[in-house]
Amino acid sequence: MIVLGRIVAPFGVQGWLRVHPFGDDPEAWRKMRQWWLSADADAPAECWTPRVVEAVKLHGDGVVAKLSGIDDRDASEALGSCYFGASREDLPAPAQDEYYWADLIGLDVVNLRDQPLGRVRSLIETGANEVLVVTDGERERLLPFVEQVIKKVDIAGKMVRVDWDSDW
């Protein structure tokens, strides 16, 4: 399951949900026929519950969505702050130099001097840019996912090359 975001609050009284997207193209979700919901982002696929997507809209500086069977505020509140995602087959292929977070997790991180820095454990969204959380078992590094730092992402080769000194 590819986690797309998190439900953060009810929106209105007709079952709409305010959602926090983990990607930068939530309008593409309008084409999806269903989302999968789970309280745990790392839950196995069989623990996710499907919901048909009725609508997704940009609203102000956020995103709201309407799912089938969630028809009033009580139902939307009952969902809590669960995660929503989709199977890889339901997602559009990322454009060149774009990646799903799930594809980055687990990749080895190597600097320009071929020094291993660790593996991508997770990502953090800061508002300004995403940040790779890289661990080597002893140390955790937070590397901004920006052009000045990330020099090459090789999904097939399972590696990220970065301009980052091993002492930082």
Mean pLDDT of 60-82: 93
Does position 47 have pLDDT exceeding 80, yes or no? yes
Percent of the chain topping pLDDT 90: 65
Are 131 and 144 in contact by the 8 Å Cβ rule? The answer is: yes
Region(s) of the chain under CATH 2.30.30.240: 101-162
pTM: 0.71
* pLDDT number for residue 24: 66
Q: How many CB atoms lie under 10 A from the CB of residue 103?
A: 16
Domain at 101-162: CATH code? 2.30.30.240
What CATH fold (topology level) applies to the domain 2-90? Elongation Factor Tu (Ef-tu); domain 3 (2.40.30)
Region(s) of the chain under CATH 2.40.30.60: 2-90
Which tokens is 150 given? 């990330």
* pLDDT number for residue 35: 93
* pLDDT number for residue 30: 76
Instruction: Give 75-130 pLDDT, tens digit per residue.
Output: 999 988 999 999 888 887 888 888 888 899 999 999 999 999 999 999 988 878 89
* pLDDT number for residue 1: 87
- CA 161/CA 149 separation, integer angstroms: 9
| Residue 162 burial class via C-beta count within 10 angstroms: exposed 0-12, middle 13-18, buried 19 and up | buried
Name the pLDDT band for 61 (thresholds 50, 70, 90).
confident
| Mean pLDDT computed over every residue of the chain | 91
